[in-house]
Chain A
Amino acid sequence: MRWRTNKSKVAMVFGVVLALALGGAACGSSSASGGGKVQLSLVAYSTPQEAYAQIIKAYQSTPEGKNVTFRKSFGASGDQSRAVASGLTADIVAFSLEPDITRLVKAKLVPADWNAGEQKGMVTDSVVVLVTRKGNPKGIKTWSDLTKPGVEVITPNPFTSGGARWNVMAAYGAQIKTGKSEAEGVKYLEDLFTHVPVQDDTARKSLQTFTSGKGDVLLAYENEAIFAQQKGQKIDYVVPDDTILIENPVAITTRSKHPKEAKAFLDYLYADKAQGIFAANGYRPVTKIGAASKFPTPKNLFTIADFGGWADVTTKFFDTDKGIMAGVERKIGVSVAKK
């Protein structure tokens, strides 16, 4: 009797698993249908998923895109990049920051001249903004407001989240650009991170943490803030006067079996229609289209190149042992341990 209940239980669990697996397979095959057409594999980071779905739909209604189907994969930028480096098939890769492309350039999976074009390989822009509760009850406007007593700041951990590095560089850069020394910039990061009660592993989880009620300010990309507002979250956001220009790269891989079609799709990403779709999803277009004017231009907008580019910044700030951020986390950790 007992054995029989166990058996039926096992059967039930098995049935559920089977149903889930079939569901998953169905989802997988719907985006992977071929049938004599050219299939391009797009491997991208997770946030522009919605935008790419709309762009692909628009592309397939054009003469060039008529016979092109897509296999889409979305995930954390670093994970996606590592997956492609380890052999995941990709014709087009789109990541949240340049080092994820650089990894593939080193592995000879992306040509070294990927950023030779007019837009330097970047397909969308954004800026780091300060997301607040509806009505901004704490009156957050500038970077120095974040380190006032009683203000809780949410930002992902810059070691687990490649995207969180934009936040760190925005906070640091804002100090440097307002005339502070490098040491003062580092001091600011130390102050700032003592105000951070949660360091989620990804930017999306930070957004979730913030919308579930934790913290006063969320450091996020403008497109994420707009996304959250579009989803009906009760938040406001401030574009600070001093902030960093986020640039998201895209490239075609050297292993692409359909380089011509991949190139055509890449070109389409810069067409007014596609850039308009990106803009509607909260990204700043990289070309001069009408929608670009709806995004306010911060007074002092700086770029990662102002700090020597990602290669230098990664070593200087984000080396897990000797980087500035490792030092900041340690210093805070030690002071906490003493309490």
Chain B
Amino acid sequence: MPRSSSTLTPDDRLGTAQPAGGGPGDVSRRGTSSAGRSRPTPGATLGLGIATIYLSLLVLIPLAAVLWRSAEGGPGDFWQAMTTPEALSSLKLTVGAAVIVALINLVMGTLIAWVLVRDNFPGKAVVDMLIDLPFALPTIVAGLVLLALYGPGSPLHVNIAYARVGVVVALLFVTLPFVVRTVQPVLLELDKSMEEAATSLGASSAATFRRIILPNLLPAMLSGTALAFARAMSEFGATVLISGNIPFQTQVSSVHIFGQIESDNVHGAAVVSAVLLVIALVVLVSLDVLQRWGARRG
């Protein structure tokens, strides 16, 4: 590489049209990389192309198909299918449960991540591994296990099955890893000297947490929470067993959608799915905006 033989002056870095230094061989090269900042290199173009095709095939086209299907009958039909009493009550329950689950995850997930990073205790590695297990377990099995433990025949004499609280517990189980696994690496990388400096300057531990640690963790906490929220809204396997599926009481949207499909009402299923997608999108975007806003302020 000829570039290695030359040194870049600040002017070069700013990308002036005619670089002063450097051998003739690297003029053109540097010209491409600096002047064409918006024009990607061939390698990057290939990567971008592959990523776009992959995402399109896997995500964009299927999601667009759902939206397309839901819009088939026009806005009137869409509204009607969305506002049937069953659909509305299942949506309310689903979104409500997802919000509660996301908030609990935000607090408990951060706490668990904190304990796993900052504290030392015997069996820590085992606990660390346990966190991922809800991902590995088919969620229907999770529902079955929760039902056996916290259902009518509970050996612990805790019966939360067939009620809304059962839905929340099932969702908590399934979404546990999200916040823990997003916060943990950030906490691990967090420079302890910042905290030490704050303490040595006389900040209380509460102030250190609020002013130093929290702002650093917040982006990770929020993105983990957003993931947990989105996952909670779509969960089927864990909730279908433990909720009891009574329409208007414990039937979540995913089960409602399943019912529509079983009853050959694909349009109704697509409409409720589209509503879930839009809610998830709005939440993901607004958390992202919140995060950026927080980053600018902090």
Contact = CB atoms under 8 A, between A and B. Distances in A.
Do A and B actually bind?
Answer: yes
Interface of A: 2, 5, 9, 13, 16, 78, 82, 103, 157, 159-162, 196-201, 205, 212-214, 318-321, 326, 329-330, 332-334, 336-337
Interface centre among A2, A159, A198, A319 (most CB of B within 10 A): A159
Given A205-B241, A318-B263, 4 more contacts: A13-B132, A199-B246, A199-B247, A212-B152
Contacts, number: 94
B259 A320 contact: yes
B204 to A, nearest CB: 31
Given A160-B255, A333-B249, A320 B151 contact: no
Nearest to A82: B261
Contacts of B255: 160, 201
B162 interface: yes
A333 B89 contact: yes
A197 B247 CA distance: 11
Contact of A2 (B188, B248, B259): B188
Contact of A326 (B86, B147, B148): B86
A214 B86 CA distance: 25
Contacts of A161: 262
Interface in B111-165: 125, 129, 132, 136, 147-148, 151-153, 161-162
B244 A197 contact: yes
Nearest to B136: A13
13 contacts: A9-B129, A9-B132, A78-B262, A157-B251, A160-B255, A160-B259, A161-B262, A199-B245, A201-B255, A212-B147, A213-B152, A329-B248, A333-B86
A330 B87 CA distance: 11
A135 to B, nearest CB: 19
Given A320-B259, A320-B268, A157 B248 contact: no
Given A326-B86, A330-B85, A198 B262 contact: no
A160 B153 contact: no
B38 interface: no
B205 interface: no
Contacts of B152: 212-214
Contacts of B241: 200, 205
Contacts of B264: 103
B250 to A, nearest CB: 9
B193 interface: no
Given A9-B129, A201-B258, A329 B86 contact: yes
Interface centre among A2, A199, A329 (most CB of B within 10 A): A199
A199 B246 CA distance: 6
B265 interface: yes
Please give me the 4 A-B residue pairs with the lowest Cβ-Cβ distance, nearest first: A333-B248, A159-B259, A198-B244, A213-B152
Interface string B80-100: 000011100100000000000
Interface centre among A5, A157, A332, A337 (most CB of B within 10 A): A157
A337 B245 contact: no
B133 to A, nearest CB: 10
Task: Report, as a range, how many residues of chain B touch the other chain.
Answer: 35 or more
Contacts of B240: 200-201, 205
B151 A157 contact: no
A103 B266 CA distance: 14
A50 to B, nearest CB: 21
B260 interface: yes
Given A157-B259, A201-B258, A329 B151 contact: no
A214 B89 CA distance: 25
Interface centre among B125, B151, B251 (most CB of A within 10 A): B251
Nearest to B245: A199
Given A159-B260, A320-B259, A330-B86, A16 B245 contact: no
Interface centre among B85, B136, B153, B260 (most CB of A within 10 A): B85
B129 A332 contact: no
B151 A336 contact: no
A160 B151 contact: no
Contacts of A205: 240-241
Contacts of A329: 86, 247-248
A196 B251 CA distance: 14
Contact of A214 (B136, B162, B259, B265): B162
A332 B247 CA distance: 9
A11 B218 CA distance: 31
Contacts of A199: 244-247, 251
B136 A160 contact: no
A197 B262 contact: no
A123 B7 CA distance: 85
Contacts of B262: 78, 159-162
Contacts of A78: 262
A337 B259 contact: no
Contact of B260 (A5, A213, A320): A320
A85 B147 CA distance: 35
B98 to A, nearest CB: 20
Given A13-B136, A201-B240, A330-B86, A336 B249 contact: yes
B248 A337 contact: yes
Contacts of B151: 212-214
B244 A333 contact: no
Contacts of A197: 162, 244, 246
A291 to B, nearest CB: 33
B258 to A, nearest CB: 5
Interface string B224-264: 00000000000000001100111111010001001111111
A159 B249 contact: no
A326 B248 CA distance: 12
